[in-house]
Amino acid sequence: MKQYVIDGLRPEDHNRLKDYLDEHLRAAGIVGIYWLPLEKALLTPLQADHRDCAPHVFALKLEQTVLSCELLVRTKKYIRCECMAYATEDQRNWLIDQTDAILEMLAIRI
């Protein structure tokens, strides 16, 4: 799996990040996994056409010392669909920018 990984989180970083994710993102039903909805303007034409699959999301996994962001655009409604794909360059850059902005806002320095 392709991922954007932030490692070396300290316990206080993990706690601040967990609190933020718990408050602002939807939990996936598996401990430590969160859904980050992708902005509609960044959807590929195929993803935009698959309105029944919306929302399209990235999976973020928070562990004690690591935050892993999958570079796979998923759908929360279906396990498999042709609209699921690795992020385009714009989608990937958006995910990295969003993740980095959260870390900056929480004053987490890696």
pLDDT in tens, 65-103: 999 999 999 998 888 899 999 999 999 999 999 999 999
- Residue 110 domain-assigned (yes or no): no
For the cut 90, the answer to whether the pLDDT of residue 7 exceeds it is yes
Q: What is the predicted pLDDT for the residue at 1?
A: 86
- Taking CA atoms, 34 is separated from 3, 5, 24, 46, 72, in Å, by 14, 15, 10, 24, 14
pLDDT in tens, 9-56: 999 999 999 999 999 998 888 899 999 999 999 999 999 999 999 999
Give the CA dihedral 65, 79, 93, 16, nearest 10 degrees: -30
Q: What is the spatial distance between Cα 33 and Cα 37, in angstroms, rounded to a whole number?
A: 13
Kindly report the CA angle at 14 between 9 and 15, in degrees rounded to 5? 150
Domain at 62, CATH number:
3.30.310
What domain range includes position 59?
3-105
Q: What is the predicted pLDDT for the residue at 29?
A: 82
82 touches 74 (CB < 8 A): no
pLDDT above 90 as % of the chain: 88
Q: What is the predicted pLDDT for the residue at 62?
A: 98
**Amino acid at residue number 11:** P
- Residue 66 domain-assigned (yes or no): yes
Domains contained in the chain, number? 1
pTM above threshold 0.85: yes
Q: What is the predicted pLDDT for the residue at 13?
A: 96
* Phi, psi at 24, each rounded to 5°: -110, -15
Q: What is the spatial distance between Cα 29 and Cα 12, in angstroms, rounded to a whole number?
A: 24
